[in-house]
Amino acid sequence: MIYKLIHKTKYAYSTRVNKYNGLACLQPLNNHWQKCYAFDITIQPDPLEIKSRVDFFGNTLHYFNIDTPHKQLIVEAKSKVESSLRDISVLNLNITCAEAKSHIKKNLLLKNELGLYFMKSHFIDWDAEIIDFAQPSFVPDLPLYQCVQNLCYRIFTEFEFNSKYTEVNTPLKVVLRDKKGVCQDFSHLAITCIRSMGFAARYVSGYLETRPAAGKKKLQGSDASHAWISVYIPEAGWCEFDPTNNIIPQERHIVTAYGRDYGDVVPLKGIIFSAGHHKLKVEVDVIPVLEGL
């Protein structure tokens, strides 16, 4: 499937902003099931410069610098992405948790290579409470893949999706206690559980194409950026899971970036030079492009 993606972020400031340094992580990446054909970022007011680079994790970032005084900032990223089905049937997904552990332990090179994704990071930290929550899903004799699916199922069924309840810095403890949150919280929770069990997991930032209810026309800006997880299954490689929707990501999941956690892949961040408050509005469209039209 080919998609046209529009990710528009609008900041409105109560007082004039004199200067803005920004960093955008909005360009979909290329891998064996996804090709980004075209990408364009437009920023208003005109930045002095835009520079792109590939970061430590292999994601493409755009740095920009505005020094025109402004009260409104618009960053619009447009891209065209071809996303194909991921055939997981060819993979060996039968390795059990116990086997996976000893595989990693024996394979020092692998462990070192994945080192970053086994460890605590800014948003990922665990204690006994997290381990207690994770433990029931990870049965040593069951396939690791199945155990992660079970974890995602539990998060999907036991937790309520509530976009009003949490914000970027809500601690996982609160999410776990109140069983409410959004995709970012659920992904962090799942990653924390998986790492606490001794496996490698990373955070995926991207988009999910939503389908309008039958007979309804899709509303503009109704899509959203999305987050899910990627887990290293020995002998199969990195496999993705979507704990928010309890599905295995397929062509409707479009990947922008991978990182240890949200902190590594923030879609847009910036340092403003102003005293006022701001309002933020984000619109995302994931529009399927019908071939031949």
Contact residues for another protein (CB under 8 A)? 18-19, 21-23, 48-49, 51, 53, 55-57, 63, 65, 67, 108-109, 111-113, 115-116, 118-120, 264, 269-275
**120 versus 281: smaller Cβ distance to another protein:** 120
Least distance (Å) between residue 57 CB and another protein:
7
Pick 131 or 142: Cβ nearer another protein: 131
CA–CA distances in Å: residue 252 to residues 88, 148, 210, 227, 249 = 15, 21, 8, 13, 7
- Complex with another protein: residue 114 or 152, whichever CB lies closer: 114
Nearer to another protein, 12 or 119 (CB): 119
To another protein, the closest distance from the beta carbon of 276 in angstroms equals 9
Give which of 56, 50, 62 is closest to 7, Cα–Cα. 62
Q: With CA atoms as reference, report the closest residue to 245 among 279, 219, 271, 208.
A: 208
- If the CB atoms of residues 85 and 271 are measured against another protein, the closer one turns out to be 271
Q: Rounded to the nearest whole angstrom, what is the least distance from the CB of residue 232 to another protein in the complex?
A: 14
> How near is the Cβ of 189 to another protein at its closest, in Å?
20
Which is nearer to another protein, 176 or 268 (by Cβ)?
Answer: 268
Shortest spacing between CB 125 and another protein, in angstroms: 11
Q: How far is the CB of 120 from another protein (least distance, A)?
A: 7
